Structure formats: structure tokens, C-alpha cells
Amino acid sequence: MHPTKQEQTAPEPAPRFEQMDPPREPIRRGSTCPQCRQARLDYNGLLNLECPGCGYTEHNGAGCT
């Protein structure tokens, strides 16, 4: 018995690596907010970059010790 066309086609192999987002530019004071894309980021009282429009905050992990 000959295999049918459906039996002859192998399933597509799964991708080896997950699709990753392209690297983004470093966020700096004055950068457009990555969340709302409307306002410009500025430092708040804790020296974190914050969006005055939507409240997005970028915590950079740095601080005074």
C-alpha cells in the first residue's frame, strides 16, 4: 500500500530559538515613554525615570549606598 500525500508530509520543525524583541535604545531623560509613547521621561524624586503622562517608571537598579 502506498502512503497518501498527507502521510508523506512531515510536520514543520519547531523553531530552535524563541523570537526575541529587537534590542531597544537605552532609556534616558527626555526619551519618549515606551508605554504610552506620548510624553517624555524625566527623573522623579527617587532618581528613577518616570512618565508624567501615564506614570510608567523605569527602575534602573542603581542607587546611592
Question: What is the rounded distance in angstroms from the CA atom of residue 49 to the CA atom of residue 44?
Answer: 6
Question: Quick one: which of 62, 57, 6 has its CA closest to 33?
Answer: 57
For 25-65, how does the pLDDT look when each residue is reduced to its tens digit (9 = 90+)?
A: 788 999 999 999 999 999 999 889 999 999 999 876 655 55
In 20-60, which ranges are E strands? Answer: 42-43, 49-50, 57-58
Mean pLDDT of the 13-32 span: 76
Residue whose entry in the numeric block shows the C-alpha cell 535604545: 25
Residue type, 65: T
Domain edges within the chain: 28-65
Question: What is the rounded distance in angstroms from the CA atom of residue 6 to the CA atom of residue 35?
Answer: 46
Is 70 exceeded by the pLDDT of residue 6?
Answer: no
Is 90 exceeded by the pLDDT of residue 15?
Answer: no
